[in-house]
Amino acid sequence: MVAAFAACVLEIGAASLAARAVEPVAESKAAAKHGPVEVLFDASGDPLRTIDSKLTTRNWSGYILPHYLTKKSYTAGQATWTVPTVTYDGVEAASASWIGIGGFCTNKKCTAVDRTLIQLGTEQDAISDGGISYYAWYEILPAEESPTPLEVNPGDVITASLSCEGDCEDNQWTLAMTNETTSETWSHTITYESSELSLEVIQEAPSDLSSVLPLADFGTITFSGTTANSVRANLSRGDRVVMEDEQSPDEFESSNVSIPDAIHDGFNACFNAQKKLIKCRKP
């Protein structure tokens, strides 16, 4: 599922970690991919929504601030979450938690999907009873994910951010992650031409080279402190997305999301294995 990775030398932030080779995180079949949203559609060709208007997807659950709703372009974002514990349920499965810009529908009907996506976060993979792995990564489409040397473990509090310098004319992005639990930090600067069409905070079922992988049971994860363009985000102005995992052979596993918290910059994502989405309570 997650390929053995070669040595990777990365720029490290102020409380720096020494650049080092990244060891393989688990036995694997293919490199993980964190792709654009894969929306499900109804028989009429309209985006499939739940009874409470959440957009249904194959791979994403969370909140998106899209340009078509907010009329804003996005060049910076930040979010905090606690790395969830995943459990092995008899099949190789994965989950990822991240913040990113791009990769969402370009209009409400989702007649087109933005193929640019710059993102960073943590991944939690359950390969076997003894093969559960946790690591930090970033990805800039169309490239595959790159692991970072920032060590993460279940229960660690992670703050991740991305920002484009100045007015973003030079396309210079700074990616950064802090493990608030260990006080270790990582940062990296890249050049990337983004659409700037959406900001999202996502709990995801990653893909291999051909399809969406089964979603690892992550329980409940809380995202908080979301900012958009360096000010506190109002997630209630955005779109909510939930996930149906079609890879499960018996009953689809899914990830639902709560309404935003009291200050509208955080929410819960909740794993379940029901025939229908169940209520996910707010933080």
Closest CA to 235 of 204, 262, 266: 266
Average pLDDT, the chain: 86
Share above pLDDT 90 across residues of the chain, in percent, rounded to a whole number: 72
**83-138 confidence digits (pLDDT tens):** 999 988 888 899 999 999 999 999 999 999 999 999 999 999 998 877 899 999 99
- In CATH, what is the architecture of 55-272? Sandwich (2.60)
Higher pLDDT: 37 or 23? It is 37
pLDDT attached to residue 247:
55
pLDDT attached to residue 279:
78
**233-276 confidence digits (pLDDT tens):** 999 999 999 998 665 544 456 899 999 999 999 999 999 845 45
Q: How confident is the model at residue 21 (pLDDT cuts 50, 70, 90)?
A: very low
Per-domain boundaries in the chain: 55-272
| Beta-bridge partner residues of 32 | none
Rg, C-alpha atoms of the chain: 17
pLDDT attached to residue 245:
65
**59-76 confidence digits (pLDDT tens):** 999 999 999 999 999 999
Question: Strands, E, within the chain: which ranges?
Answer: 55-57, 60-66, 76-82, 93-102, 117-126, 132-140, 146-147, 157-164, 172-179, 184-191, 198-204, 220-228, 231-232, 239-245, 253-257, 267-272
pLDDT attached to residue 32:
75
Pairwise CA distance, residues 13 & 1, whole Å: 29
Higher pLDDT: 211 or 220? It is 220
pLDDT attached to residue 189:
97
Question: Does residue 37 register a pLDDT over 60?
Answer: yes
